[in-house]
Amino acid sequence: MSAKEGEREGAAAPGAGAEDVAEGAAGEGATSEGAAGERPLSDLEALDLVTEAVESGAGLPEVVRAAAKALQASLAVSDAWGATLAVAARSPAEERSLLAGGKGVISIPLRVADVVVGALHMRARAEPSASVRRLLVTMIASEVERVRAPERASETAAADFLRGVLNRELSEREELLARARQLSLEVGDGASMIVARARPQTPTEEGWRGRIRAVAERGARAVSNRTIAALSARDGMAGAEVLLLVPGADEPTAARAAEGVMREMQATLAGFTFAVGRSRIAEDPADLGRAASEALLAANVAEGGSHEGPLAFDQTGAYRLLLSAMSENPQELQRFYSETVEPLVAYDEQYETDLVGTLAAFLEADGNVAGTAQRLFTHRHTIYYRLERIRELSGLDVSSSDGREKLSLGLKAMRVLGIASAVGPASEAGAGGGRVPRGSSGGSGRGGRG
């Protein structure tokens, strides 16, 4: 090969290399906002850029894009319940990585006063100054608060309406219809209520109750898009309890909505246990309060039993007879529970035993000790020992029909009241020295574990 040919071949190679470099530069440009020669913005320029976007009224997406340019970062903003509000990312893959908390992504809570309104997910190519980052985070939080204000007002109105129904503060037909119309709801032809409950089994992040509400509402709206939802805010709730109203008189639609709630919670929320109860159709709006009580009772029974999936009020069997007591005279129901099963619950909690579970299995086995032992995978002598402990604590003999009847009603009262029982380990070793009061009657149980 001549020197000239070699020279031409050598010239061609650099040409190809330059093309490859240009292609790489384009790819790099796609992964970094702006060209390679673009200088970083000064702190003042960064603040001016974001301030201009806020003042223009162009909305949260434009503010986030301006902040991404100012910080030389990819950004995503989610609300307090995890819904994505705005993204400034270089590609769909980058967006997924941001929202999944991928490598190099930091998540910063967005606060207005002491309230968390969302989170900013950021992957920066260079660490911004602390003062600029703090100011931009504050500006984005304020924009999120502004954007969410109308929706939050609607959520507040829905919560007031649903809590008023549950607490029987709204019971007049015309007032119910008028308040429903303000929420763009038509309940004149009928509606049903759903109560969805989630209890965390592991430590949870801030704002998790609001996320439960959003997930339950999404599940129901996949079936009935006019459904409204709110946290019940009842006192003493260890988990999150969501009230949902499904407009319409179609029973299958209401059933599918409840199934949608359960399915969405199970698919989206890890580390929780769930219970979903559904009422009958309230054909008259004035009966919505009764429907809310039915859904609450069904959720309590579902949580206290072994039922899987949503439980309809019509499926609660004998528990239906206790609805009026739960709604109108819960103190009497509480008193009966205290006189029968409460000492067993207290003993289980103190010694990590399962007397309540043993009693339930014994009653389900029609008082047959061998059948109870088989259900609980334990020895008959252990069952006898536990039944004797139940007699000592409650003062009721499970070998008599009267004792079994009262204890059975006590278990039902416990479930209707929504009281969860502690389930202890299989160990039968003695605990020694413990004394548990017998409800309001003043008796006590002997030491040891059952």
Task: Find the farthest-apart pair of alpha carbons in the chain and give their distance in angstroms, rounded.
Answer: 114
Residue 258 clears pLDDT 90, i.e. is over it: yes
Alpha-carbon distance of 186 to 292, in angstroms, equals 17
115 and 143 in one domain?
Answer: yes
Residue 434 clears pLDDT 60, i.e. is over it: no
Domain presence at residue 415: yes
Render pLDDT for 286-328 as a digit per residue (tens, 0 to 9). 999 999 999 999 998 888 766 789 999 999 888 888 887 777 7
Alpha-carbon distance of 243 to 102, in angstroms, equals 35
pLDDT of residue 388: 94
Domain presence at residue 380: yes
250 and 113 in one domain?
Answer: no
Render pLDDT for 115-130 as a digit per residue (tens, 0 to 9). 788 889 999 887 777 8
**The domain spanning residue 254 has which CATH number?**
3.30.70.270
> Which helix (H) or strand (E) segment is 63 a member of?
helix 60-71
**The domain spanning residue 410 has which CATH number?**
1.10.10.2840
Alpha-carbon distance of 444 to 392, in angstroms, equals 8
pLDDT of residue 323: 80
Q: How many CA atoms lie within 13 A of 158 on its CB side?
A: 23
Alpha-carbon distance of 436 to 444, in angstroms, equals 5
**The domain spanning residue 140 has which CATH number?**
3.30.450.40
Which domain does 77 fall in, by range? Answer: 43-148
pTM score, whole prediction: 0.61
Mean pLDDT of the chain: 80
Alpha-carbon distance of 340 to 440, in angstroms, equals 10
64 and 22 in one domain?
Answer: no
pLDDT of residue 23: 36
47 and 16 in one domain?
Answer: no
Instruction: Look at residues 316, 351, 370 and tell me which one is the last residue of a structural domain.
Output: 316
Mean pLDDT over 251-262 rounds to 96
Alpha-carbon distance of 380 to 327, in angstroms, equals 40
Alpha-carbon distance of 238 to 200, in angstroms, equals 9
Alpha-carbon distance of 119 to 85, in angstroms, equals 10
67 and 125 in one domain?
Answer: yes
Residue 7 clears pLDDT 60, i.e. is over it: no
Residue 431 clears pLDDT 70, i.e. is over it: no
312 and 335 in one domain?
Answer: no
pLDDT of residue 421: 66
Alpha-carbon distance of 304 to 316, in angstroms, equals 12
* Res. 359 pLDDT band, cuts 50 70 90: very high
Domain presence at residue 160: no
Our count of domains for the chain comes to 4
Mean pLDDT over 141-165 rounds to 83
Question: At 448, is the secondary structure helix, strand, or coil?
Answer: coil
Mean pLDDT over 420-440 rounds to 41
336 and 310 in one domain?
Answer: no
185 and 305 in one domain?
Answer: yes
pLDDT of residue 422: 59
Question: At 130, is the secondary structure helix, strand, or coil?
Answer: helix
Residue 18 clears pLDDT 80, i.e. is over it: no
